[in-house]
Amino acid sequence: MTRSRPSDSASPERVGLWLVGARGAISTCVAHGLSGLRQGLLDSTGLVTARGPLAELPLLDCGQLVLGGWDVCRRPLSQSASELADMRVLSGPLVAAAAGDLAAFEQRLRAGILDPSDGEPADLDPQAASTSRLTPRQKVARLLADLNQFQRDSGLARVVVVHVASTEIARAPAADWSDLASFERALDDGRPQPASVLYAYAAISGGFSFVNFTPNVGSAVPALQELARSRGVAHCGNDGKTGETLVKTALAPLFVARNLKVLAWQGYNMLGNRDGEVLADPLHRAGKLRSKSDALRAILEDPGLHHQVAIDFVPSLRDWKTAWDFVHFEGFLGAQMSLQFTWQGSDSALAAPLVIDLVRLTELAQRRGEAGVMEHTASFFKSPIAGGSHDFHQQFRTLIEYAQRRG
Amino acid sequence: MTRSRPSDSASPERVGLWLVGARGAISTCVAHGLSGLRQGLLDSTGLVTARGPLAELPLLDCGQLVLGGWDVCRRPLSQSASELADMRVLSGPLVAAAAGDLAAFEQRLRAGILDPSDGEPADLDPQAASTSRLTPRQKVARLLADLNQFQRDSGLARVVVVHVASTEIARAPAADWSDLASFERALDDGRPQPASVLYAYAAISGGFSFVNFTPNVGSAVPALQELARSRGVAHCGNDGKTGETLVKTALAPLFVARNLKVLAWQGYNMLGNRDGEVLADPLHRAGKLRSKSDALRAILEDPGLHHQVAIDFVPSLRDWKTAWDFVHFEGFLGAQMSLQFTWQGSDSALAAPLVIDLVRLTELAQRRGEAGVMEHTASFFKSPIAGGSHDFHQQFRTLIEYAQRRG
Amino acid sequence: MTRSRPSDSASPERVGLWLVGARGAISTCVAHGLSGLRQGLLDSTGLVTARGPLAELPLLDCGQLVLGGWDVCRRPLSQSASELADMRVLSGPLVAAAAGDLAAFEQRLRAGILDPSDGEPADLDPQAASTSRLTPRQKVARLLADLNQFQRDSGLARVVVVHVASTEIARAPAADWSDLASFERALDDGRPQPASVLYAYAAISGGFSFVNFTPNVGSAVPALQELARSRGVAHCGNDGKTGETLVKTALAPLFVARNLKVLAWQGYNMLGNRDGEVLADPLHRAGKLRSKSDALRAILEDPGLHHQVAIDFVPSLRDWKTAWDFVHFEGFLGAQMSLQFTWQGSDSALAAPLVIDLVRLTELAQRRGEAGVMEHTASFFKSPIAGGSHDFHQQFRTLIEYAQRRG
Amino acid sequence: MTRSRPSDSASPERVGLWLVGARGAISTCVAHGLSGLRQGLLDSTGLVTARGPLAELPLLDCGQLVLGGWDVCRRPLSQSASELADMRVLSGPLVAAAAGDLAAFEQRLRAGILDPSDGEPADLDPQAASTSRLTPRQKVARLLADLNQFQRDSGLARVVVVHVASTEIARAPAADWSDLASFERALDDGRPQPASVLYAYAAISGGFSFVNFTPNVGSAVPALQELARSRGVAHCGNDGKTGETLVKTALAPLFVARNLKVLAWQGYNMLGNRDGEVLADPLHRAGKLRSKSDALRAILEDPGLHHQVAIDFVPSLRDWKTAWDFVHFEGFLGAQMSLQFTWQGSDSALAAPLVIDLVRLTELAQRRGEAGVMEHTASFFKSPIAGGSHDFHQQFRTLIEYAQRRG
C-alpha cells in the first residue's frame, strides 16, 4: 500500500467508492480503515492486496479513494462508529482521528431504494421509503443521477459501486433475467425487481463497475452479465467469504486430497449484528444458507453429502460472529474420526479489508479494460459469479497467477 | 486399485514390502489393510493413490505385494491385532479374515537392530539385543543378508523398505554424515550410528528403495542422498504427516493468503500408544516437536512466530490421538480473533494407507529409474527430505502434476 | 451391587422389569448390561446406585431381575445387538456371552400399542398395528393382561414398568388429564390418548410402578398422579438426563453462584440413532426441546434468557451423540467472556445404567410403600414430575439425603 | 450492595483495604471496580456477595472502603489502567471517571519487600530493592509501621490486607513453620522467609485480617494459623479460584455422582499477562500446578488419576486467559466418551470481584470476632487453608449456610 510509484508523484487520479448500505457496519469499518491507513494509524494487516505478487500490481493507493453511497436508513455514521467502538471492533483513538473523514463521507450519502421484501426499520429514511412508489425505470434513473453527480462533483476518474447492504430474501431465477432484452422489457413493463438488481443495473448501464459483497442477486444473472460485457464494465460477486465458509473451503480440499470420506459436515453459525437480525428470518436466511452449503458439496464432489448449516441470531455477540463446525469422516479400515473447529471473529473487520481489496482489483480491471466477470476474484466470494472451483487454495492460486501474468 | 491393466493379466511381478518395526501398530494395520483390500472387505477410502489422476498412474496392485520385515521385539502379530481390535481400530471380522495372511507375514519377520538410545523393552527379542555387540559394518551385513534372502526366497522383482519403528532420540547433524566418503570411513572406524541410518544404508547400498515414515535421521543426510543417487535408488521421508500437522499445514496458508497476522499458534497433542510412550521422554520427543513446528514457521514466513507444540502421553487414548490447536490472530483494524480445532483420529489408521501409497509411488519411481529423493512425495511428510514448501496444498499440487506429467 | 445380604442367601424374590420399547437400543443395552453384571463381565461403572451411601440402601440385586416388555416393531433383539456391536457400544464378547439371556428376554416380549402420532415403520409388528382399531379401554385391558401374565408366569414379587420407547409428538395439557375422574370419563367416551398415557394408566391401575424415561406425557399429568397415590404406586419421570442437559444443569449453577450474567446459551445436539430419526420431525422434537431449555431458564432464574437448543439428525453418528454448547456471559467490569463444551457419548450406554438405577430405586420405594412421585429421583430427569430445582447438584443431594435417611 | 442499613445512615465506619501487589492488574481492576460501583457506572455482576442470602448479611458497603497497599515496582497506576483499557478489560469511560480515585489510591502506596526468589524487574522500586539488606524482623517492623500509619492517617476502624502479588517459587513445608514458637525463633535467628509469609506475619501480628489470593505460602502454615487464633484475627486463602479450576471443580462432581470413571483429565492453560510471564518459569509454576491438580484428585477420590495441567505463556493473549480441558471417561458397558471445554475470560476481571467479596466477608468476620481460618470462604480458593471438600458446589453451600445461619 505504501509503495510510491512515479505516476503517483504528479497528481494521482481520484477514484470513487460508492457503497450500497453506506451507514452499516462494513461501510463504517471501510471508512475508518481507509482513514486510518492514510493517517498511518493502521498497518495493512488483513489486506490481501498488500502482500506478495499482488502488492506488485499497479493498484490504486488508498489515498486516491473518495467515499460516498446509498442507504435506506438515517442512522448517523457517528452512531455506527460509536456502536463499533463499544463492541470493540474500532478503537477509540481511531474513531476520534477519523471523525473528519467520516463527516465528509456522510455529506456524500444519498437515499437508496427499498427492496420489496424489506420491512420498515425504525430509522427508515423517508426519502428511501418514498421510492416504493416509483417504477423500476424511475428508480434506476434516480440511482444513475446520484452516481453521475458523485463522479462530476468529486472529479472522479472512475467509480466502483460496492453492494454491502442487508441480505434480501432468496429468489429463484426469473425468466426476466435470462437475457438483457427480456430484462429491459421487464423494466419497461414495470415489473418489480430486487433492489440489488436495480443497483447493479444502474451502475453497469452507467459504465460504473460493480462489486456484490452480499448473497443478493445483483449482477450475477445472465441479463446483467450481458450488459456488463456490452458496456465494457468489470464486475464481480457474490457474497463475501469471510468466516466459516472461508475455513470450510480451505479445509475441505484436505479431505479430498487424502481420500477421506466425509460422512457429515455440520456448521453452526451465531451472530448478533444487523445482518444476523435480518438472517433470523428464514426467507432471508435461505440465500445465505444455499451459498454456504453448495460450496462444500462442490469441493467434496458429493452431491448427497450430509451437510447442514444453521445461522442463529445471538444478539449479545453483536459483531463477533462465532461458528462451530463438526466434520465426521471415515478413514482407512473403516475407522471413524472427527475434526471440529470454532471460529471467533469480527464480521465487519473481516469484511472491510476485502471490500478495499476488491475495489482496488476492480478499479484496475476497469482501467485496463477487462470487461465482464472478474474470474480472478473467486477467492473473495462464497458464490463466485463465474463459477469454477470453490477450493480456496485453487481460487487463490488463480489470483496469484493473474498478478504474475498481469503485474 | 482395481483397474485391470493388460500387463497384469499375464503374470504380474511380485514386489516386496519390508517393514522396519514390523510388529507395531502401523505395520499391523498395513498388513490387515492389504489383506482386506485383496479380499474385497475394505474399500480404498484413505488411499491417496486411489483417486483422481494418481489412480491413472501404472502403480502396482496391492495383490502384488509380499510382506516381511524387522522388529526388535517378539510381540506376536496376533497380539498387536487383538489390541487394535480391542481399541476399535480393526474390526473383529477383518482380523479373522486376515489371520492367514498375517501368519504368512509373521513367517517372514527377522530380528532388527537396536538403536544406541533404545531402552530394554520387556518383550525385547534376544537376537535383536545381541546385535548391540556388533560393529556397524557387521550390522549392515546382517541386514543386507535379510533383504537379499527375502527377495530371493519370495521371487521379488523389487523390494521397498519402509521404516515405521519407534522414534529415536533427536540427533544433531554429524560430520560423519556430510558426504558418502566420510560416512564410509565412520563405518570402517566402527563409530556407532543411529539404527535408522544403518537401516537406510543397508537398503540403499543393496539397491532397495527406502521410505522413512519416522522423524528419525534415516536417509535424509547428505551421505545417504549421495549413495542413493549413485546406486540409482529412489527414497523419501521424513515423518509421516497424518494428523495435527496435516491440518496445520492445510490451514496456515489461509492466514498467509488473507494477510492475517498470526500472533500465537499453540498445539497440544495427546496420544496413548507405544509411540506416545516413547515420546513421553523429552529426548525422543525433541525430533518430533522440531518437525512439527518448523513447518508452521516456514509457511507463515515468520521465524519469530510464537508457536508451542506439546505432546503428552495419555495412556487411555491408546491409538486415538487427540489434538487441540489454538490460533490467535489479528485482522484489519487491529481486531483480534481466534480459530481453534480439535482433531480426533486413529494414529495407525491414518498412517497405514499412506504407507501403502508411498510403497506404490516408490516402486513406480524405482521401476522407472527415478533415482534420488522423490520430491513429489512431500505432501506425505512433516519434514520432506527435498525441502520445498510445507504448504500442504502446494505439496499436493506437485504430486498431481507429477501424475499428470508421468501418467 | 455385589454386597451380599442375609436376606439374599435364602431365596431372593424375583422382580420384573417390563420395558416399553423393548427392542430398542436402550433396552438392548439394559439387557446386555444386566447379563454382563451377572456374569462378572462388567463392573458397576456408570451405575449411580453402586457408589457411596446409595450402595448402602437395601436395593435389589441385578440377579433378581426378570426382563420382559412391549414393542411395536418386530426387529429381532439379535439385530439390535449386532447393530450396537457394529457401532461399538457393545463389545463382541459381551454380545456372545449374553445371547442366552437375550433369547429368554425375547420370549417374554409382547406387541405394544401405537401412538396416534406414530408413522408406519418398515418393521411394524402387525399385532401392534391392529391395536389402532381398539378403544382406549380395550388397549388398557390388553396391556394389563400382559403385565399380569408376566408377573404370574415368572413368579414375580413386583414389576417395574419402564418407558424407553420413541419420543411422541409434543402435546399441550388436556382437560381430560386434570383429574382422575375426568380421565376415566375420557376413557369411557373413547377419546384417543397418547400411548405413553395408556401405558402409564395400565401399569399404575394394575398396581405396577412406572418409570418414564422419555419426554412423553406418561404419568406426569394430575389424573395419573392421583391414580398413583390412590393405588399406592411409586412412579417417576420424565425424560432421562443423560448428556448435554446433564452437563448444562451441572454447570449453570456455577454462573448463579458467581453472579455471572449469562447473555446467551446456545446448545447444538447431533445424534444419529432411531431416536434422532424420530426427533428430526419438528413435532416430535418440540417436547424434547422444551424440557431441555426449561431447565436452564429455571436454574438461571432468567425467564428472558436468550437460549436456543437445536437437535439435528446426523445418521453417521448413530448412537454417538455429540453436543456443542456455547455460553456467552458477562462478568465484573462489563467484561464479556465465554465457555464452550463438546460432549461426545453413547446415548444408550449413558441411558442404560440409569434405567437400572431407577428400577432399583423404584422397586425399593414400592416395597417400602412409598406411594406417589419419587421426588428423590429428580437428578435422573430433565423434567422431574415433582418439579423442584433443576440444579443437578441440589437434585443429587436430595438423593443422597434420601439414602442417608432411609439407608 | 446498595441496601441502606440503619447503622449506615449516621456516619459509617471507614475500612481499609491494603493490597499487596497494589500496582498490578488485579489491584487496578479492584480500584476501578470500587470507583465504578460508587459512581453507579457498574452493576454488581460478578460479585458473589451481591446475590441471594449473602446479600442479606450486614456486610460493609463499598463506599466505606479506603484503598492503599504495597508494591515492589514503580509502574504508575495510570499505566496499568491504560494497559487494561488497551486490552479491553476496562472501558475508556470508566478509566476516565475513576482517575481521581486512582490518584488518591496511589498516594497511599508504599514500597513492599522482595521475595528471595524475585528477579530484578525493569521497573523495580529502589526502596523495595533496598529491603533485601534487612533482617526478617526489620522487614516485619517496617511493614507493620506502614499498616499502622495507614489505619491512623485514614481513620480506619479495621484494615484487611489482601495479597494479590506475583506467584513466588513453590516451597516445601519448612520446620520453621510448624508452630509459632519455631517461627519466632527463625525470625530471631534471621533465617530468610518468603515475602508472602512476612506479609502475613506482619498483618496478623498487628491484628489486621489477611486474605491470600495467591498460591504463595502466606498464612497457610501452622505457625501463622496459631498466631491468628491467638491474636483473634480472621484470615483465609490460598489461590483464588477464577477460571479453569473453577470449571473443573464444578464439573468433576458430576462424574462422581454418575459413577463415571475418569480415565484422563488434561488441562491446558494459556495466559499472557505478568502472572503468565512469572509462571513461564517452572519453579514459579510448580506451586500453581500443584493446587490446580490436587483439587481434582481429591474430588474424584482417585489419587492415581491420570491428570496433567500445563500453563503456557502466550503474550498476545495478555489478560485474556484461555484454557482447554479434555476429559476422557468410561461409562457403563465399557463405553469410552469424552467432554472437552474451552474457557475464555479476563483474568483480572474474574479475580477483582472475588477480592471485593473476600474483603467484605473478612471484615464481617473480624468485626464479629470470628478468629482463625474462615472455612466458609473455601469456594473462593484453589487450596482452601482449612481443607475440606474441593467440590465447588459443596463449598458454596457452606457459604450459603454460613449466611443463613449468621445473616
The alpha carbon of residue A253 is apart from the nearest alpha carbon of chain B, in Å, by: 8
When pLDDT is cut at 50, 70 and 90, the band that residue D120 belongs to is: confident
Could C328 and A314 be called an inter-chain contact, meaning their C-beta atoms sit closer than 8 Å?
yes
- For C36-82, what is each residue's pLDDT tens digit? 999 999 999 999 999 999 999 999 999 999 999 999 999 999 999 99
In the predicted model, is pLDDT for residue B115 greater than 80?
yes
The pLDDT mean for chain B works out to: 93
Q: Is the pTM of this model over 0.80?
A: yes
B322 touches chain D (CB under 8 A): yes
Could A332 and B47 be called an inter-chain contact, meaning their C-beta atoms sit closer than 8 Å?
yes
d(CA C159, CA B288): 60
Question: Which pLDDT value is given to residue B114?
Answer: 93
The pLDDT mean for chain C works out to: 93
Q: Say which amino acid occupies C124.
A: L
Q: Say which amino acid occupies A362.
A: T
Q: Residue A144, SS3? A: helix
- For D208-226, what is each residue's pLDDT tens digit? 999 999 999 999 999 999 9
Quote the percentage of chain D above a pLDDT of 90: 82
Could A340 and B339 be called an inter-chain contact, meaning their C-beta atoms sit closer than 8 Å?
no
List, in sequence order, the alpha helices (H) in C280-391. 282-299, 347-367
In the predicted model, is pLDDT for residue C2 greater than 60?
no
When pLDDT is cut at 50, 70 and 90, the band that residue D100 belongs to is: very high
- For B375-388, what is each residue's pLDDT tens digit? 999 999 999 999 89
| Side-chain half-sphere CA neighbours of C266 within 13 A | 22
Stretch among A282-296, B28-42, B315-329 having the lowest mean pLDDT: A282-296
Beta strands in C242-381 (DSSP E): 261-271, 307-313, 320-330, 336-346, 372-373
In 3D, which of C397, D36, C170 has the Cα closest to residue C388?
Answer: C397
In 3D, which of C128, C366, C333, C129 has the Cα closest to residue C236?
Answer: C366
d(CA B20, CA B196): 9
Question: Which pLDDT value is given to residue D267?
Answer: 95
When pLDDT is cut at 50, 70 and 90, the band that residue B285 belongs to is: confident
Subunits next to B (3 or more Cβ pairs <8 Å) are A, C, D
| Side-chain half-sphere CA neighbours of D274 within 13 A | 19
Nearest CB among B324, B328, B342 relative to D314 is that of B328
DSSP letters along B107-153, please? HTEEE----TT----TTB-HHHHHGGGS-HHHHHHHHHHHHHHHHHH
Q: Looking at the DSSP assignment, which residues form a beta bridge with residue A312?
A: A270
Read off φ and ψ for residue D19, nearest 5 degrees.
-100, 130
- For C223-251, what is each residue's pLDDT tens digit? 999 999 999 999 999 999 998 999 999 99
Q: What does the block give as the cell for B40?
A: 474385497
Could C310 and A308 be called an inter-chain contact, meaning their C-beta atoms sit closer than 8 Å?
no
Stretch among D243-247, D284-288, D351-355 having the lowest mean pLDDT: D284-288
Quick one: which H or E segment has residue C251? helix C244-257
> Cβ-count burial of D75 within 10 angstroms (0-12 exposed, 13-18 middle, 19+ buried)?
middle
The answer to whether the CB of C22 falls within 8 A of the CB of C68 is: yes
Subunits next to A (3 or more Cβ pairs <8 Å) are B, C, D
Contact list, C342 vs chain A (CB under 8 Å) = 340
Question: Which pLDDT value is given to residue A2?
Answer: 41
Nearest CB among C46, C250, C258 relative to D332 is that of C46
Give which of B91, B324, B344 to mutate to test C binding, by max C Cβ within 10 Å: B91
d(CA A21, CA D47): 42
Show which of residues 110-139 on chain B sit within 8 Å of chain D, judged by CB atoms: none
When pLDDT is cut at 50, 70 and 90, the band that residue D4 belongs to is: very low
- For D16-62, what is each residue's pLDDT tens digit? 999 999 999 999 999 999 999 999 999 999 999 999 999 999 999 99
Higher pLDDT, A11 or D313: D313
d(CA A260, CA A250): 15
Please, what is the angle between helix C392-406 and helix D244-257, to 10°? 40
C343 touches chain A (CB under 8 A): no
The answer to whether the CB of D132 falls within 8 A of the CB of D115 is: no
In the predicted model, is pLDDT for residue C6 greater than 70?
no
Asked casually if ipTM beats, i.e. exceeds, 0.90, the reply is yes
Q: What does the block give as the cell for A266?
A: 455440520
Give which of A1, A43, A258 to mutate to test B binding, by max B Cβ within 10 Å: A258
Name, in order, each residue with C-beta under 8 angstroms of A311's C-beta and a sequence gap of 6 or more. A269, A270, A271, A276, A279, A285, A288, A289
Question: Which pLDDT value is given to residue C407?
Answer: 59
Contact list, C92 vs chain B (CB under 8 Å) = 92
Question: Which pLDDT value is given to residue B170?
Answer: 87
d(CA C308, CA A313): 10
A317 touches chain C (CB under 8 A): yes
The alpha carbon of residue B320 is apart from the nearest alpha carbon of chain C, in Å, by: 14
d(CA B29, CA B36): 10
Could B254 and A260 be called an inter-chain contact, meaning their C-beta atoms sit closer than 8 Å?
no
- For C260-313, what is each residue's pLDDT tens digit? 999 999 999 999 987 777 777 777 777 777 767 788 999 999 888 999 999 999
d(CA A356, CA A370): 19
In the predicted model, is pLDDT for residue C9 greater than 60?
no
**Buried/exposed code over B36-74 (b: 16+ C-beta within 10 A; e: otherwise):** bbbeebbbbbbbbbbebebbeeebbbbebbbbbbbbbbb
B93 touches chain C (CB under 8 A): no
Read off φ and ψ for residue C20, nearest 5 degrees.
-95, 115
When pLDDT is cut at 50, 70 and 90, the band that residue D14 belongs to is: very high
Contact list, A318 vs chain D (CB under 8 Å) = none
Contact list, B332 vs chain A (CB under 8 Å) = 29, 33, 42, 45-47, 349-350, 352-353
Q: Which positions of chain A have pLDDT values less than 70?
A: 1-10, 291, 407
Stretch among B110-124, C164-178, D256-270 having the lowest mean pLDDT: B110-124
D93 touches chain A (CB under 8 A): no
Stretch among A85-89, B99-103, B177-181 having the lowest mean pLDDT: A85-89
Contact list, B314 vs chain D (CB under 8 Å) = 264, 266, 306, 308, 328
Could C268 and A336 be called an inter-chain contact, meaning their C-beta atoms sit closer than 8 Å?
no
Question: Which pLDDT value is given to residue B277?
Answer: 79
Stretch among A312-316, B245-249, B300-304, C19-23 having the lowest mean pLDDT: B300-304
Question: Which pLDDT value is given to residue D74?
Answer: 94
- For C101-150, what is each residue's pLDDT tens digit? 999 999 999 999 999 888 777 789 999 999 999 999 999 999 999 999 99
Higher pLDDT, B85 or B289: B85
d(CA B177, CA B224): 8
- For B352-401, what is each residue's pLDDT tens digit? 999 999 999 999 999 999 999 999 999 999 999 998 999 999 999 999 99
